[in-house]
Chain A
Amino acid sequence: METLSHLAVAFGNELSSPLSLGLILVGVMVGFTFGATPGLTATMGVALFIPLTFPLPSDMAISMMIALYCGSMAGGAIPAILINIPGTPSAVVTTIDGYPMTRNGRAVEAYGWALVASVVGGAVAWLALVSLAPALARLALKLGSAEYAAVAFLGLAIISSVVPAPLVKGVLATVIGLGLSVVGFDQITGQGRWTFDSLQLTRGIGIMPALIGLLVIPELMSTLFQRGGHAEAPKTLKGMFPTFAGFARQSVNMIRSSVIGVVTGIIPALGGSVGALIAYDQAKRFSRNRANFGKGEPAGVVASESANNGVTGGALIPLLTLGIPGDTVTAMLLGGLMIHGLQPGPRLFETSGDIVWNILASVLLANMAIIVVGAIGFRFFVRVLDVPKHLLAPALFVLAVVGTYSLSNSWFDVVIMLCLGVFGFLATLGSIPVYPMVIGVILGPLLESETRRALVISGGDWTTFLTRPVSAVLVTLAIAILIGPSITGLLRKRTRARTPDA
């Protein structure tokens, strides 16, 4: 009851202030632009906007940054759906069904689903944020290294199996991604690995150079040589939003994926990609159109986007209640909160309650703004499909290069991106999927460090992953995902061989 009265006052404050509403709208618009442009990241957007918020009251400043964060997550779906290039790492899963929908002439429908799913994901996350935040954050802190390692293993098993390629190639790509994540200093012993005596390689391979190199360059190169080229721009934006019946059919998928997103968002360091992957896998498992996944199934887009935006709200829970940032964007937000005189942690609600409730109200308003900005913005972004291929491709090459350079003003990152781009293109020619490589780079450090930490704690006993209930369930699930389809396929073959033709 107390929460409701705090929220009522906070919504009153936010809605009665045109400046506050305007800043949320600007935050979402800037976030959309950063999310929709490959090479520009949410982290970069928040970092750039922190200095601009100095003159603003702290609640408005933080609200604007959070709006930018939410907007960038939703904006990442636009290039993922239109040109098969995810704008953010977490939009990688959206490409699996989003782009095939575009190629089937259903770009508008795909984006409509992405937008609605984003808003539902954001709303579910907001509910968790205002109602369960402290309890959930304390629970997440109880997870040990074995559970973290098991979640990372599950994420890798899912991406190996969901890509439209034979399982052996999916696993091969994932292991190559893990190999790329090995480069640099060993997190525990501090020894250099695969650094080839290069000082720059000791920092390791960054996620964004790997993402741009492995996804943007091979995709651009492939589209140049594809028969038929890119999809055509839709003639009309009619039918963008789903009908009530369609919405009702996807509602379970949306809620389930949002909850998965919130839970993965709460656990620090997992990030949007894992949430989207688990949600996608679950959507496929429960769907009647299982065979259509990967070929343009709206449920795939819905699962990925609900989870993505669920993660944003989920990541705010440990940030606000424990002062723990889950990823680079929330680390930036933590800096922003501190610059504005707020100390995130268990006493935040006691010391700065009014400001925090205003921020929480603005999170929901930012999610509402996503639908307005997304629906209007798509009219402009969709025009990218009208640009002739010979003008679009060089522009995207330049943006990939400049975007990589701007991450840390490092020319070496550009060289890494280029090398991975060439490697990714060659892998694509050999029908080896590149998405698992990116997820391998993202989850590799988490898997390795947590596995080794768990083994140190258990005195080198590998059964620790099977004796702890949560990690045991997750590891079993991952193994089932990897070997399950082969076993059922074999059994089906045997049954067919035994049954004589009618």
Chain B
Amino acid sequence: MPQFVVVTVIVLASLSAINDVLRWRGARRTGRATEPAIAPVRQVLLVGGGILVLLAAYVFAWRPLPFSLITFVFFTSVSAILAPPSVRTFRGYAVIALTGLLFSIGVWLLFTLVLKVPLR
């Protein structure tokens, strides 16, 4: 099974890549290239990469730090990154902080007291 998976993935990935290149060339030749459904690559890599780094840091901070504290920090940081310009005011940040506080305490209470999950 492992050998079958490796060989098949290599073959199918190559076929898929060739297929993509052919389609892209075909679309470029006929001038039918469509607008991508997601934001520019640079933005995806910067913001997406940033969020994934924060998520990894959040997961790795679980063991040494109290759950509510790191959840609050993670929630507010990600929310601040994603907030649209219209929300980037004192009031907007206050709403983010308050929501983060209530959410982190609420999740901690639900999981530790009701669901008996051992969170710090």
Contacts and interface: CB of A to CB of B under 8 A. Distances in A.
Interface residue SS majority, chain B: helix
A202 interface: no
A390 B1 contact: no
Contact of B8 (A169, A175, A389, A397): A175
A429 B52 CA distance: 15
A406 B117 contact: yes
A171 B51 CA distance: 30
A477 interface: no
Interface residues of B, number: 48
A395 B116 CA distance: 20
Interface string A353-392: 0000000000000000000000000000000000011110
B96 to A, nearest CB: 7
A226 B37 contact: yes
A241 interface: no
B82 A415 contact: no
Nearest to B17: A430
B103 A193 contact: no
A397 B74 contact: yes
A225 interface: yes
Contacts of B15: 168
Contact of A227 (B6, B38, B100): B38
Contacts of A414: 59, 62
A137 B53 CA distance: 50
B31 interface: no
Contacts of B37: 226-227
A351 B100 CA distance: 54
Interface in B1-44: 1-2, 5-6, 8-9, 12-13, 15-16, 19-20, 37-39, 43-44
Interface stretch (A145-153, A176-184, A298-306): A176-184
The winner among A168, A226, A422 for most chain B CB atoms within 10 A is: A168
A398 interface: yes
Nearest to A444: B1
B113 interface: no
Interface residue SS majority, chain A: helix
A405 interface: yes
A399 B110 CA distance: 11
B74 A182 contact: no
The winner among A169, A171, A222, A225 for most chain B CB atoms within 10 A is: A225
The winner among A225, A398, A431 for most chain B CB atoms within 10 A is: A398
B100 to A, nearest CB: 8
B70 to A, nearest CB: 10
A448 B1 CA distance: 8
A485 interface: no
A432 interface: yes
Interface in A171-214: 171-172, 175-176, 178-179, 182, 193-194
Given A168-B15, A222-B38, A397-B78, A48 B115 contact: yes
A240 interface: no
A224 B115 contact: no
A409 B117 contact: yes
A401 B82 contact: no
B37 to A, nearest CB: 6
Nearest to A194: B2
Contact of B12 (A44, A175, A390): A175
B111 A406 contact: yes
A394 interface: yes
Contact of A431 (B20, B52, B79): B20
A393 interface: yes
A171 B11 CA distance: 11
Interface string A135-177: 0000000000000000000000000000000101101100110
Contacts of A391: 79, 96, 99
B2 A432 contact: no
A179 B55 contact: no
Interface string B94-120: 001001100110010001000111110
Contacts of B12: 168, 171-172, 175
B117 A418 contact: no
Contacts of A44: 115
A176 B99 CA distance: 39
Contacts of B74: 394, 397-398
A401 B58 contact: yes
A431 B21 CA distance: 13
B117 A402 contact: yes
Given A194-B2, A394-B82, A405-B117, 6 more contacts: A221-B51, A390-B82, A398-B107, A401-B55, A401-B59, A418-B55
15 contacts: A48-B116, A182-B1, A221-B51, A224-B51, A388-B87, A391-B79, A397-B51, A398-B103, A398-B107, A406-B117, A409-B118, A414-B59, A421-B52, A425-B52, A432-B16
The 5 A-B residue pairs whose C-beta atoms are closest, nearest first, are: A390-B82, A172-B12, A179-B5, A394-B78, A406-B117
